[in-house]
Structure 1
């Protein structure tokens, strides 16, 4: 589940392809509503004279796993 909280925008870009096509891309990071997962979201939208298409993908990692990984990396001096 994606949080309704505000996201941290990591990347946001709009580019023009050809003379008429427009491509929008956004990558954001947020906590889930229960604050147990960190969610990375990718959103892409393409506009052209033929219409528009969009794709949204989400990857998530449990905060417990992320904190364990960070602690392990810190112990190894990485």
Structure 2
């Protein structure tokens, strides 16, 4: 199973002297179909220095996420 990511947040900001700061947060279904993966990427690029990249990944059982949504979500009207 190859799921496409849902991009929750993406920002690219130009800093001084052509440097870039990029941030992205995405959500996808794991290969096993039973977990959700939340990934956070941060990248700094400076034409005068080596770039820096950092990534953090969080894995949550899909069933736990759905239970949390049911327990903590607001009920829609008419449902």
Asked whether the two chains share a fold, i.e. TM above 0.5, the reply is: yes
* TM-score band w.r.t. shorter chain: 0.7 to 0.9
Compared CA separation, residues 55 and 4, structure 1 to 2 (3 A): farther
The whole-number CA distance in structure 1 between the counterparts of 2:69 and 2:25 is 22
Corresponding residue number in structure 2 for 1:54: 53
Corresponding residue number in structure 2 for 1:30: 28
Segments of structure 1 that go 5 or more residues without pairing to the other structure are none
Instruction: State the TM-score, normalized to the length of structure 2.
Output: 0.80
Which stretches of structure 1, 4 residues or longer, exceed 2 Å deviation after superposition? 70-74
Segments of structure 2 that go 5 or more residues without pairing to the other structure are none
CA RMSD, 1 decimal: 2.0
> SS at the partner of 2:4?
coil
Instruction: State the TM-score, normalized to the length of structure 1.
Output: 0.80
Q: How many residues align?
A: 74
Normalized per residue, the structure richer in strand is 1
The whole-number CA distance in structure 2 between the counterparts of 1:45 and 1:36 is 29
Q: CA deviation at 1:70?
A: 2.2
